[in-house]
Amino acid sequence: MKDLVSNKETDVVIAKKLGLTEDEFKSIVTILGRTPNFTELSVFSVMWSEHCSYKNSIKYLKTLPRSGSNLLVEAGEENAGLVDIGQGLACAFKIESHNHPSAIEPYQGAATGVGGIHRDIFTMGARPIAALNSLRFGDLARPHTQHLVKGVVKGIGDYGNCLGVPTIGGETYFNNCYNQNILVNAMSIGTVKVGETVSATADGVGNPVYIVGSATGKDGIHGATFASADLTEDSADDLPAVQVGDPFQEKLLLEASLEAIQTGAIVGMQDMGAAGICCSSSEMSAKSGTGMNINLDKVPTRQADMEPFEILLSESQERMLIVCHKGKEAALEAVFDKWDLECEIIGEVTDTKRLVMTFRGETVVDVPSNELVLGGGAPVYDREYKEAAYYKKLNAFDMTQIAEPTDYLATAKKLMTSNNLASKAWISEQYDSMVRTNSMHSNMPSDGHSIRIKGTEKAIVAAVDCNSSFVYADPYIGAMIAVSEAARNIACTGGKPLAVTNCLNFGNPYNPEVYWQFVNVIKGMGEACKAFDTPVTGGNVSFYNQTQINDTVIPVYPTPTIGMIGLLEDLDNQTGLGFKKPGDVIIQLGVTQNEINQSEYLRFIHEVTESPVPSFNLQDEQHLQNAILDCIYAKTVQSAHDISDGGLFMNLIESSMVNRLGFELTTDPSIRKDAFLFGESQSRIVISCSEDQVSKINTICEKHNVTTAIIGKVTDGSIQVDEDQYSDINDFINIFKNQLPSILNN
């Protein structure tokens, strides 16, 4: 065997440079019974990186609810979650991050994040039908942030638009904690007939192993390791770790893969994402209890003289590893030849439970596949954690020390200039939301984003949600709120929440305060998911999201992005957020608390970032969501919109803008006016209805123990709060629509 490591001292040094600890290096020596060569060490380094092994998170991830009546596969069993949606159909869905690549090269980083998540869906045999995203950037006044925003948005738009998958929704937030380390989380949703999915397996000794799709290049090498390390001032030097995408090639690969599945030639298939060939080959082999012999000379490459570790670790995009039934090679090759894609046999399945890789006649890798992977021999850690020092400071906040506005109209207009509340149309209009003509959001804007399933009366409703300021203030409660808001958005649309995928973005897990955030987020998320019967089907953990500038380390806010899907059983029940006609009654479901905790109003108007999380009760939230669904199913509701960022006033403005209507609002004198208008206390929904439905709505809500209050009525465009005229909706529309373009078009 070719050994590129020369002595034991050098071994440890190289192992550390590759991201392994000294103890991990010793474990590898024990596993192999010898010193690994450089290529083997490289394989272990990427497979045991946080990005692939979840070594610092898997202990707690296993505590999340992982099974449910609608799930067709257990969490982590396949590339994506799979949920039964009736009529012989299933929904495959997943969310993942591409944070560090996007921070270094925003266009390709975001584009390849989109491409990778769609491959996870069609690798299972599902056709991607919708995409969503969750984006976090720093201070938008900084030119660097503007550069990142423009690059990320263009990368997402170009890739998704060319691939022909509509981007139907998402969220974008701005906070200084993301100034260097932005977050780019991409979600894909697909549909497939039950029983026609493909698993990531390598069954059948003697079956040929194919690499299909694009040729392999030097882009993305050690991308998994790059994703499992802190960003520093020198991270731009790691640009080769960023992959380069080609959406047109992916479109060919999508169609070829789905067609190849229909031939019956495929035993198993897996996307080559993080860690490339070594990841897909080891995971497929470990899952089946088999092994593989692979000849790296057979791998089509884009560059001459690539080293074996470069071929193995490359994360070049638009590639798959396929195990084919022996004897059906011609059928498989014919499909990929038709689509003008590479389709080369590079090895075969063995019964050795080992990965044996040869290059130019020499064995360069000989390792047990199970020892490389999550759930096998990959290390599992439980890091030290302690309550964050800032936590007690937040709870010392006193609202009485915050002065109420002297001019509420001026305050309301200024609040709408917050980049977090302003229209994100500058972003969303760069995405094709209507391709394939199934998106329902344009005709009826709603809290959840609906995509109809052709040939049925059903629609999938999806949401991505996380208020990271809430999670920062209290990781346990904040995570509950993130799950609850996603479910609330689906319920307000008329859908029943089904399942969750998550993208857990945190700082360095070796920081005890960061790990405290992580542990408490998992606890809160688990409780909320159990309450809504939305099992966690999988997702992604992204640690090391922080920036080191000189001696200062700045972690991002803990950001557990929740991707949730629900089912709208009857398209007639789809409910929008927009007011329908003047004279309708406006009713609030749920109770307003006398607080402004962690509100955008407190942060943006008063520049106070240190305050507790808003009040929250999980049982109240369950009652609220059951009530709104019953109200919708009883055909009593004209519109439904949950109260979230910006509070009640922003909720009413958003509902008014859809049809250029307005509202008259009466505040509650027992609650501070700024808390009533701008506070973000949870578990509240605003509905509008005709006057003759009020009694019926009250009866339904009383049955669910949900408080109701008539707070106003819909107008023809004028806005009035108590006795004060707030101009009309057009003034607010202009502010809302022009904020981001005024910055990003400069």
Q: If you average pLDDT over residues 711-721, what whole number do you get?
A: 98
Q: CA distances (Å), 95 to each of 107, 181, 338, 434, 735, in order? A: 19, 19, 31, 21, 32
Strands 231-232 and 546-549: parallel
Residue from 625, 479, 657, 632 nearest 569 by CA: 632
Supply the pLDDT for residue 244: 84
Q: Which residues does residue 209 pair with via DSSP β-bridges, in sequence order?
A: 323, 347
Catalytic residues, by residue number, are 51, 98
Does the pLDDT at position 275 exceed 90?
no
E strands, 467-519, in order: 496-505
Q: What is the pLDDT of residues 424-461, one digit of tens each?
A: 999 999 999 888 778 887 789 999 999 999 899 999 99
Supply the pLDDT for residue 210: 98
Supply the pLDDT for residue 138: 96
Supply the pLDDT for residue 3: 45
Does the pLDDT at position 284 exceed 90?
yes
**What percent of the chain clears pLDDT 70, i.e. is strictly above it?**
96
Mean pLDDT score across all residues of the chain: 93
CB atoms within 10 A of CB 452: 18
Residue from 98, 89, 418, 61 nearest 226 by CA: 98
Q: What is the pLDDT of residues 201-212, one digit of tens each?
A: 999 999 999 999
Supply the pLDDT for residue 231: 58
Supply the pLDDT for residue 1: 43
For residue 39, the surrounding DSSP H or E stretch is helix 38-47
Please state the pTM of the whole predicted model. Answer: 0.95
603, two tokens: 């942060």
Does the pLDDT at position 308 exceed 60?
yes
Does the pLDDT at position 496 exceed 70?
yes
Which residue's entry shows tokens 């709104």? 628
Long-range contacts of 383-391 (CB under 8 A, 24+ apart): 383/56, 383/509, 383/510, 383/512, 383/515, 384/512, 384/515, 385/512, 385/513, 385/515, 385/516, 385/518, 385/519, 386/512, 386/513, 386/516, 387/513, 387/516, 388/513, 388/516, 388/517, 389/513, 390/610, 391/474
Cα 275 to the center of its chain, rounded Å? 20
Residues 6+ apart with CB under 8 A from 474: 391, 394, 520, 612, 613
Which residue's entry shows tokens 């590639």? 319
Supply the pLDDT for residue 11: 84
Residue from 11, 85, 74 nearest 42 by CA: 11
- Residue 101 φ/ψ, nearest 5 degrees: -60, -40
Residue from 577, 349, 615, 306 nearest 443 by CA: 577
Supply the pLDDT for residue 450: 96
Supply the pLDDT for residue 553: 85
For residue 224, the surrounding DSSP H or E stretch is helix 223-226
Does the pLDDT at position 229 exceed 70?
no
Cα 401 to the center of its chain, rounded Å? 38
Supply the pLDDT for residue 440: 84
Please classify residue 194 by burial: count the beta carbons closer than 10 Å to its beta carbon, then call 0-12 exposed, 13-18 middle and 19+ buried: middle
Supply the pLDDT for residue 2: 44
Q: What is the pLDDT of residues 651-686, one digit of tens each?
A: 999 999 999 999 999 999 999 999 999 999 999 999
Q: CA distances (Å), 65 to each of 14, 417, 529, in order? A: 39, 40, 7
Q: Which residues does residue 203 pair with via DSSP β-bridges, in sequence order?
A: none
Cα-only R_g, the chain: 26
Does the pLDDT at position 4 exceed 50?
no
Supply the pLDDT for residue 5: 45
Instruction: Return d(Cα 69, Cα 75) in angstroms, integer.
Output: 13
∠ CA(608), CA(610), CA(616), 5° rounding? 110
Q: If you average pLDDT over residues 255-274, what whole number do you get?
A: 94
Instruction: Return d(Cα 176, Cα 163) in angstroms, integer.
Output: 33
CB atoms within 10 A of CB 285: 28
Residue from 70, 95, 67, 72 nearest 82 by CA: 72
**What percent of the chain clears pLDDT 90, i.e. is strictly above it?**
86
Does the pLDDT at position 379 exceed 60?
yes
Instruction: Return d(Cα 662, Cα 175) in angstroms, integer.
Output: 31
Q: What is the pLDDT of residues 520-567, one digit of tens each?
A: 999 999 999 999 999 999 999 999 999 777 788 889 999 999 999 999
Residues 169/158, Cβ–Cβ less than 8 Å: no
Does the pLDDT at position 412 exceed 70?
yes
Q: Which residues does residue 585 pair with via DSSP β-bridges, in sequence order?
A: 689, 713
CB atoms within 10 A of CB 508: 19
Residues 448/566, Cβ–Cβ less than 8 Å: yes
Q: What is the pLDDT of residues 333-359, one digit of tens each?
A: 999 999 999 999 999 999 999 999 999
Strands 496-505 and 536-542: parallel
Supply the pLDDT for residue 220: 65
3-state DSSP assignment of residue 119: helix
Instruction: Return d(Cα 110, Cα 96) in angstroms, integer.
Output: 11
The four Cα atoms 298, 299, 301, 307 give a dihedral, to 10 degrees, of -90
Q: CA distances (Å), 603 to each of 164, 175, 418, 592, 597, in order? A: 39, 10, 10, 19, 9
Instruction: Return d(Cα 746, Cα 741) in angstroms, integer.
Output: 8
Strands 459-465 and 354-359: unpaired
Exposure string (b/e) for 133-144, b if CB count within 10 Å is 16 or more? bbbbbbebeeee
Supply the pLDDT for residue 222: 54
Residue type, 580: K
Q: If you average pLDDT over residues 68-91, what whole number do you get?
A: 90
Strands 127-137 and 167-174: parallel
CB atoms within 10 A of CB 584: 22
Supply the pLDDT for residue 393: 92
Does the pLDDT at position 65 exceed 80?
yes
Supply the pLDDT for residue 232: 56
